Amino acid sequence: MGSASQNEREGEISTAQGAPRAVRDTGVASRVQSAASALPPNTSLSALRAGGQNAGGAPLAPAPGMRIQQYELIRQLGAGGMGTVFLARDTRLGRRVAIKLLQTRNPAFTHRFILEARATARCSHENIVVIYEVGEFQGSPFMVLEFLQGQSLQKLVSGQCLPPARVVELLAPVVRALECAHEQGIVHRDLKPDNILVTDSGTVKVLDFGIAKVLHGQEASPDKTRVGQVHTPEGVGVDLSNLTQNGALVGTVPYMSPEQWGNGVPVDLRTDIWALGILLFRMLAGRHPLEPLRGPQLAVTAFLDEPMPRLRDVAPDVPAALADVVDRCLRKRKEERFPDAASVLRALEPFLPGRYSRDLRIDESESPYAGLSSFQESNAALFFGRSREIGALVSRIRDRPLMAVVGPSGAGKSSFVRAGLVPFLKRSGDAWESLVLRPGRDPLGALASVVAPLMNSSDSLAQDLQEHRRLVARMREEPGIVGTVLRGRARRERKRLLLFIDQFEELYTQVADARERQAFTACLSGIADDATTPMRVVLSIRSDFLDRVHEDERFMGELSQGLFFLTAPHQEGLRDALVQPAEMAGYRFESPEMISSMLEHLNSTEGALPLLQFAATQLWEQRDTARKLLTQESYIEMGGIAGALASHADSVLDKMTPSARVLVRSLFLRLVTPERTRAIVSMEELHELSRDTVELQSVTDQLVLARLLVVQTGSGATGATVEIVHESLIHRWPTLHRWLEENQDDSAFLEQLRTAARQWHAKGRDGGLLWRGEMVEEAQRFQRRYRGELPQVQLDFLSAVVSQAARATRWKRALVVGSMVFLSVLVAASLVALVLIRESKQEADRQAKEARQAEAVAQQSLAVAEARERAMVEAKQEAEAATKQAVEAKQEAEAATQEAVEAKQQVQQALRMSKRDQWRLRIAKKISDKNEKAARQAEARNQRLAEENERKFLEEQERNRRMEKQFGKGGPVPSLFMGMDPQ
């Protein structure tokens, strides 16, 4: 909203609560009432707002897009009794501004307004809205203001009773703004909650010096005629110039001082002191001092003889000294009030947060500083330097059910919520209860541990664990159950619940399963689903992890509207955090230069808060108890802030044995994630780092005592966990940084190894969970280069992986060799079979050729000797039989040749066979054996055929000799075997 938009939108009047019980008839009240009733019945609001002028002239009609000098109107922010406020852009300087256009054309008023607004613009103060320019547009004055976004004090307080420290914290900047204005001789004259803005960043701004009075070195004469304006409950500015010629009624009725009511006493700086007293009374008591009077009835303020009610009578819990300050501000005779704003500020400063409890001394044996640990709610009294940010977050958390405190590591996010926000809410007057958790590796389990005690609990631990597991399973299926339980608890007990999720980035560094992460964020969305519920969820997250939230679009959409960025405290905040805890313990720093040196170093250092707390803790341990001092000598000895942390960690490490240092290195490397954040590790996992658990436990205890590690004792289903005390140790300790750099290449692999070894061991060392493929090669390379210590489970896992890979390699090599030998034998056998088959075929062809020649000779002999036909028939038949046998032998040879070709193809196919086709080799061998057997059989038949032919040949020769003897005398007998080899 704009700097003046809030009060314009809500009207120019802030009335007391309650209904009037009686109207006190006073002279001033009668005059006000008669003036209001004397107005003409047809008088319009625009006429009243124009100072009594009718709309005879052309009225101002500003609209978006209109140009007023270099300012272009964007949209209307609000309207009230004195004018309209627009958001505009400065086209020359490229910034947004708020322009307030006053609805009047009275030249005298315009001239006076411009003069006094220019005088107000001289007030350059961080708590006063900046007036860039004043001028006149179409006969009406306008004012250009800085554009601010936030809430008015009226909306922020909304009639509730606030703790004294918070009231003073909110109004101290207002007093400082008045002090600046009063030094310039300017009286605000209209101080009220609507004119005080608390910006989103927590800064308090005083607005609307539009009716401010400039004192030109003297008070105005009481008999000087002035135009007055009273802001009535209806929000209408009524011209009261006709009521009195002796004074002007200017201001907002509930906050007007006695002199503003026209009692003849001139208005001066102490008028603002009165309005400040009314503000203090209302915020401390929750009501106006003259409750239930309101409107014109409040004219009793002008009666100087009737004192105002005392604050202690209405709010007895307010400290007496603070009540006296308020009562003094509300003295009706202005000479009895504080003379100026500076005096009020000095009276209020002891009641600022932290300072109010200065009389509460802490035990000197306890350090007032947190060191590297986060502040907890129990030591909220020692938490300083964040008042502005706490106020800003409180103002936003009322309208946003889900908030995220976002900042870099070391910004103090956890401390800000635990020791700042939570205690403030509990002191605000509402009944608040806080629940705190960290996601860790099991975010749903952590959330269930918070919710389970609010539900029905059993009597035994076993039943509790079983209920816990059932609740986690139900949360995955029904994420809205958590919100239902928490809202029901809050409504039953009439409380408001704040659920704080600390270290939210652990959801992404500790949880690998995206489904588990989204189940957790779905539960959070179900808790903080509307601003009207009694639930608020606040989470702290490192700014470099903010982009990881988008994986759950619904959660990201809700969270993006509630981002609260927490940066390093300003210098005053750092000074308070450094100095005030020591003062509460009765100590002080030896010299202001020492404080300035520390602050100068912290201003240029990231993660300043933990370093400040640690350095202050080191100084405290070396304090001078006799003089109650934190000395410069101690500060120099510890190497200043830069060397405090590193020197402490190194000194702890130097006191350890070499074997213990090796364990320390392994411990710290295990406690840092690959993303360079803290890892939460169970004690059981740490015991895997060394077989000597006694030494490991001793080293862990030493680091805990040295405040380098912290042990959290778990409850329910969780056990004790260990983590680094603060992330600044990761970035500020050179030794650890060197270890991390040396281990950079192995950090991701070690995380995979831890997870895989844990699963393998949990499943009974199942061989199916061992790595294979590329991971085996990576494991072998890791073993060759890694020189650090590993837990026994991880060593066993790596050994099992390598052994399995070696066995697989040997088996594969043996299988390949066996396959090659078998294929070689098979190929040789096939080649032998092919040679034999080829020789059998050649022999069969030669015999077939000889058979054909024998058949030709026989046919020729039968044609010559017809007489021998009978004798030759048998020979012919036998020759034909021999021919038939030769044909059959040829066919068998051809079949054997075909089978040999098929066997060759099968051999070639066998050469391409894999190990899964080995069974086919046996079939090929059988075929080869069959072919070899067939060849031998063919060879035997051919042998028998040759022997038979030879026998027949001999018989034929014998027969021919006998025939020759028989037919010898008749001439030569033609030979049946003419032309054949006689052998």
Query: How large is the average pLDDT for residues 330-343?
Result: 91
The tokens describing 519, both together, are 């189940």
- Of 190, 208, 268, 576, catalytic: 190
Query: How large is the average pLDDT for residues 48-66?
Result: 55
Check pLDDT > 80 for residue 143.
yes
Check pLDDT > 90 for residue 71.
yes
- Give the pLDDT of residue 927: 80
Check pLDDT > 50 for residue 409.
yes
Query: How large is the average pLDDT for residues 768-797?
Result: 69
Q: pLDDT band at residue 611, thresholds of 50, 70 and 90?
A: confident
Digit-coded pLDDT (tens) for 685-700: 787 777 777 888 888 8
Digit-coded pLDDT (tens) for 127-141: 888 888 888 888 788
Digit-coded pLDDT (tens) for 200-209: 777 889 887 7
Nearest by Cα to 368 from 562, 514, 576, 170: 576
Burial of 98 (0-12, 13-18, 19+ CB in 10 A): buried
The tokens describing 248, both together, are 């002007």
Report how far residue 517's alpha carbon sits from residue 443's, in angstroms, rounded to the nearest whole number. 8
Digit-coded pLDDT (tens) for 256-298: 989 888 777 888 889 999 999 999 999 999 889 998 888 888 8
Check pLDDT > 50 for residue 339.
yes
Average pLDDT, the chain: 77
- Give the pLDDT of residue 818: 78
| DSSP E strand stretches across 344-462 | 402-407, 432-437
Nearest by Cα to 519 from 583, 476, 565: 476
Check pLDDT > 60 for residue 914.
no
Contact (Cβ atoms closer than 8 angstroms) between residue 707 and residue 620 = no
Q: pLDDT band at residue 540, thresholds of 50, 70 and 90?
A: very high
Q: Lowest mean pLDDT: which of 283-287, 605-609, 738-742?
A: 605-609
Digit-coded pLDDT (tens) for 810-850: 777 777 777 788 888 888 888 887 888 888 788 777 877 87
Check pLDDT > 70 for residue 585.
yes
Q: pLDDT band at residue 777, thresholds of 50, 70 and 90?
A: low
- Give the pLDDT of residue 230: 43
Digit-coded pLDDT (tens) for 423-466: 888 877 678 999 999 998 899 999 998 888 877 655 556 677 77
CA torsion, ordered 719, 725, 728, 730, to nearest 10 deg: -60
Digit-coded pLDDT (tens) for 460-486: 566 777 788 888 899 999 999 999 999
Q: Could you give the strand order of the β-sheet that contains 250-252, starting from the edge strand earlier in sequence?
A: 237-239, 229-231, 250-252
Digit-coded pLDDT (tens) for 714-736: 544 456 788 887 777 787 788 88
Check pLDDT > 70 for residue 902.
yes
pTM: 0.59
- Give the pLDDT of residue 77: 87
Dihedral sign for Cα 747, 749, 750, 752, please. Answer: positive
- Rounded to whole angstroms, what are the CA distances from 934 to 13, 101, 198, 831? 123, 121, 110, 16
Q: Please enumerate in sequence order all residues whose Cβ is within 8 A of that of 290, keeping only pairs 6 or more positions apart, or say none.
A: 16, 297, 298, 300, 301, 308, 309
Query: How large is the average pLDDT for residues 617-634?
Result: 89
Check pLDDT > 90 for residue 522.
yes
Q: Lowest mean pLDDT: which of 671-680, 855-864, 938-947, 954-963?
A: 855-864
Query: How large is the average pLDDT for residues 912-930?
Result: 69
Q: pLDDT band at residue 31, thresholds of 50, 70 and 90?
A: very low
Name the residue with tokens 């805990």: 704
Query: How large is the average pLDDT for residues 179-203?
Result: 86
Q: Please, which residues bridge with residue 541 across strands? A: 406
Ramachandran angles phi, psi of 77, nearest 5°: -95, -30
Annotated binding site for ATP: 100
Query: How large is the average pLDDT for residues 666-677?
Result: 82
- Give the pLDDT of residue 869: 62
Q: Is 190 a catalytic residue?
A: yes
Query: How large is the average pLDDT for residues 498-502?
Result: 94
